[in-house]
């Protein structure tokens, strides 16, 4: 297990982010650094985060898991959370990471699932300015079309995963509703048994959307893929249960800086390799191979 150090980053609105840094001993200023943006209710303890940070350390690279608000194990202070289109928040997070590195440090970003959606939303809007902060980026198992993904995740066996997500999302939201009376409707939160209902009752209300449909439409990353002007790997398995195959982009949907990789297998953030039960090395190797080509 790779040891990390936690940094509490205070932000101007009175809230905070928690960054978990993985630093090899005696790292030089020019040692590459990879920022990981986790998925829904994820963090530095997620399987993909542990695998990536361990692989970075084995290669002598540095890493940092930048937790979205409320995802580091501690309650955030303000009436705000995170969402798939939170590109303005990400711009501030990346600026905070960049300010903590030497100018010579190559900086890369990886977003998984929701984190990938936030990253692609920012890349598409930043266009050429993204290169002032990052060398390259990667989005893994990203629900590029939130309407399609939202419908898929609320069907059949996937509802088991929905219950898992809601088991942490709902208590956080109920606690926030009690701290900030009148902000959220507690009965609506308690009745939410789908991601659509939760996003309608909570995510949209906290972040300026008129409802879940408005949120899923405006926060989808797919329309921004054609605007990206930074080397970017977009990796989606065709058997991802949360991302319908027919929602995946083709080369006509993206800019020339976007590399689409769509293997038949890999599930949602899994990409297991080797004999049963498999290992998690394929994804970190694929990511670092891409980044190494953009030093």
Catalytic residues, which ones? 113, 240, 268
Whether the CB-CB separation of 231 and 137 falls below 8 Å is answered with yes
The span from the CA of 22 to the CA of 261, in Å, is: 28
Do 221 and 142 meet the contact criterion of CB atoms below 8 Å apart?
Answer: yes
**For strand 232-235 and strand 258-261, is the pairing parallel, antiparallel, or unpaired?**
parallel
How far apart are alpha carbons 290 and 277 in whole angstroms? 26
| Dihedral (CA of 93, 96, 98, 100) sign | negative
Give the strands of the sheet with 16-22, arranged side by side: 5-10, 16-22, 62-66, 33-37, 107-112, 136-140, 232-235, 258-261
CA dist 252 to 120, 189, 218, 220, 290, Å?
Answer: 17, 40, 21, 17, 21
Is residue 116 within a helix (H) or strand (E), and if so which, with residue range?
helix 114-126
CA quadruple 253, 83, 246, 111: dihedral, nearest 10: 70
User: What is the C-alpha separation between 253 and 283, in angstroms, rounded?
Assistant: 24
- Cβ-contact 61, 31 below 8 angstroms: yes
What is the four-CA torsion angle of 84, 85, 87, 90, rounded to 10 degrees? -10
Ranges of beta strands (E only) in 188-249 are 232-235
């Amino acid at each position: 297990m790779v040891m990390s150090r936690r940094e509490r980053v205070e932000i101007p609105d009175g809230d905070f982010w928690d960054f978990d840094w993985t630093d090899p001993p005696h790292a030089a200023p020019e040692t590459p650094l990879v920022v990981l943006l986790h998925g829904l209710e994820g963090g530095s303890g997620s399987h993909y985060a542990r695998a990536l940070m361990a692989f970075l350390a084995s290669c002598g690279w540095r890493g940092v898991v930048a937790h979205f608000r409320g995802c580091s194990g501690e309650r955030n202070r303000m009436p705000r959370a995170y969402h798939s289109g939170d590109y303005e928040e990400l711009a501030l997070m990346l600026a905070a990471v960049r300010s903590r590195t030497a100018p010579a440090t190559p900086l890369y970003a990886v977003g998984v699932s929701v984190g990938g959606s936030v990253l692609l939303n920012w890349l598409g809007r930043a266009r050429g300015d993204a290169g002032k902060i990052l060398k390259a980026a990667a989005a893994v198992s990203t629900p590029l079309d939130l309407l399609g993904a939202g419908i898929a995740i609320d069907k059949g066996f996937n509802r088991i995963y929905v219950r898992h997500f809601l088991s942490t999302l709902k208590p956080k939201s109920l606690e926030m509703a009690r701290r900030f009376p009148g902000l959220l409707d507690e009965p609506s939160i308690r009745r939410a048994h789908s991601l659509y209902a939760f996003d309608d009752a909570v995510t949209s209300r906290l972040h300026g959307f008129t409802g879940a449909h408005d949120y899923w439409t405006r926060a989808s990353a797919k329309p921004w893929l054609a605007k990206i002007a930074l080397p970017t790997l977009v990796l989606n398995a065709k058997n991802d249960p949360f991302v319908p195959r027919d929602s995946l982009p083709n080369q006509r949907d993206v800019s020339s800086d976007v590399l689409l990789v769509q293997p038949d297998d890999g599930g949602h953030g899994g990409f297991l390799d080797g004999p049963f039960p498999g290992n998690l090395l394929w994804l970190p190797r694929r990511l670092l191979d891409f980044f190494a080509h953009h030093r």
